[in-house]
Amino acid sequence: MKKEEVFTLRQVEDAHWWYLGHRYLFSALLEAYCPESLHGRVLDAGCGTGGFTQWFRDKYRPEIMAGIEISDDAFRLCEGRGLQGIKRSSIEDIDFPDSSFDLVISFNVLNHNAVKNDSVALSEMKRVLEPGGCLLLNLPARKSLRGRHDIAVGDVRRYETGGIKEKLVEAGLEPIRITYFNMMLLPVMATYRMITRMRPGKEIHSDLWLPPAPLNLILTLLLALEARIARRHDLPNGSSIAVLARRPEL
């Protein structure tokens, strides 16, 4: 991710509709399927600038809230939030012993260009999970949505539900839920990405900007509504994929 995009992320992630809406979904899935893991030992694998890590820590008060991050800039911003237990480490070589955590969360990391092999990363996340522990992933979906935003933030992969299910099984993980998300806004996003791909110019920037407060609230509420539906029902389409899996019991 470009240096300027790291700092943009830090400025917007605590209030941006996209991040807030996904938090509704993650809470819904974890509380429905893995409630026992929420207050245990938790790892944020690729915690970025720390917004999700801080939110999770403050909401659920886990016994341990650890994180790993490979970007020096993002790591320093985590320190600026006062987060403890953050290590410089890759998700392909996680610097924790086997079976260290009850829950591993990873928010749009497998898709990043810093990850050379996403299958290796999944195996590492399984390794550090306690048998019976849960893995929660969020991933960008639909290759047709690839655009300037992906280039700006360093995304090199977009996923489909069938493909990520195969990768989970190959890594020895049991899928619990795999659903698309951000379905209602998908037509708007697809149109926007198509237009920006056609627009001439050399400047490449992400889509990370904070809308006016009323619009930001409306978009947040739309995703909150989707999250209520996705709590029990898989959505057929969307710009994201939420994945919940479990390491099998011994």
Stated pTM of the model: 0.95
First-to-last CA distance in the chain? 38
Q: Are strands 86-88 and 129-140 parallel, antiparallel or unpaired?
A: unpaired
Provide the number of structural domains found in the chain: 1
143 DSSP assignment? G
Phi then psi for 152, rounded to 5 degrees? Answer: -65, -40
Give the pLDDT confidence of 33-78 residue by residue, as tens digits. Answer: 999 999 999 999 999 999 999 999 999 999 999 999 999 999 999 9
Scanning 106-160, the segments in alpha helix (DSSP H) are: 118-128, 148-153
pLDDT at 198 (0 to 100): 63
CA distance 118 to 111: 8
pLDDT in tens, 24-45: 999 999 999 999 999 999 999 9
Report the CATH number that the domain containing residue 96 is assigned in CATH.
3.40.50.150
Q: Which two tokens stand for residue 81?
A: 């939030």
Residue 149: the pLDDT is: 86
Dump pLDDT digits (tens) for 156-208: 999 999 999 999 999 999 999 999 999 999 999 999 888 877 665 556 778 88
Strand, coil or helix: 44: strand
CB 243 within 8 A of CB 136: yes
pLDDT in tens, 86-108: 999 999 999 999 999 999 999 99
Question: Which residues make beta-bridge pairs with 42?
Answer: 65, 103
- The length of the chain in residues reads 250
pLDDT at 1 over 90: no
Range of the domain at 97: 3-247
